[in-house]
Amino acid sequence: MNYSKKMNIENLITKKNRLDRRYKLIVELERWFNKYTLASAMWSLIITSTAWCYLSDRTSLQPLKQTIIPKVEEVKAIELKRFCDDPISYIRCRGQQLGIDDYTITKIIHMIITCENKSLNPEAININTDKHKSMDVGIMQINMYWHRNEVKLVDMLDFKKNIDYGYKLFLDQGFTPWSCAHKLGYI
């Protein structure tokens, strides 16, 4: 083999080795860059967002709260309208709204179904045999003689108004106004 060919081959091998080393260096550099750049980018994102939350003016969230809270109230009103259209559901919904525990609400429903208004007729009117010949009206059988100054007969025939007034009585006096509660031993 002549000398020039041998030098060309050695030069080619040297160039190839340099290129191999350069390629390995580039691959290692890319791995390092990808590994640490991604990690540093994530940390900088976390630190920046944390700092922004800490340092930002909290009053800037006020308009957002003012927008969200009315929407939540609208949803609650829609839920009440949708799921509280029958007397039993309305008794449960209204009781929960007033903060009455589920056990007590169940006792109220039991009292009504057992002996106050078995058929759950919102327009039920029962004449009592007392000396006043008073009448009990509606789902919760509100006595019109004792409450004539506070409510109207027409309103007590609307089951929602009747239940609302019944809960007002319940919150003021407990089960006392209902004779059925005495029979069931609630008092």
% of the chain beyond a pLDDT of 70: 70
Lowest mean pLDDT among 25-39, 83-97, 110-124, 133-147: 25-39
pLDDT at 49 over 60: yes
How much is the pLDDT for 31?
Answer: 73
Pairing relationship of beta strands 135-137 and 125-127 according to DSSP bridges = antiparallel
Tokens for 100?
Answer: 């009455």
pLDDT tier at 86, thresholds 50, 70, 90: confident
Cα–Cα distance for residue pair 112/124, rounded to 1 Å: 12
Cα(139)–Cα(91) distance, rounded to whole angstroms?
10
Longest dimension (CA), the chain: 139
Q: Average pLDDT in the 42-63 region?
A: 63
Tokens representing 174 are 């407990």
Amino acid at residue number 125:
I
pLDDT at 141: 93
pLDDT reading at 105 higher than 80: yes
- pLDDT at residue 168, rounded to an integer: 94
List alpha helices for the chain, DSSP H: 3-55, 62-83, 87-97, 102-111, 153-156, 159-173, 179-184
Angle of CA points 76, 82, 85, to nearest 5°: 120
Residue 113 tokens read as 């179904």
Rounded to whole angstroms, the Cα distance separating 146 from 123 reads: 19
How far apart, in whole angstroms, are the C-alpha atoms of residue 132 and residue 100?
Answer: 33
Whether 76 shows a pLDDT value over 90: the answer reads no
What number is the average pLDDT over the span 61-77?
58
Say what the pTM is. Answer: 0.56
pLDDT at 74: 64
Distance in angstroms between the alpha carbons of the first and the last residue of the chain = 120
9-13, 129-133, 136-140: which is most confident: 136-140
Tell me the angle at which helices 87-97 and 102-111 cross, rounded to the nearest 10 degrees: 150
Q: What is the per-residue pLDDT for 161?
A: 93
Mean pLDDT (the chain) is 79
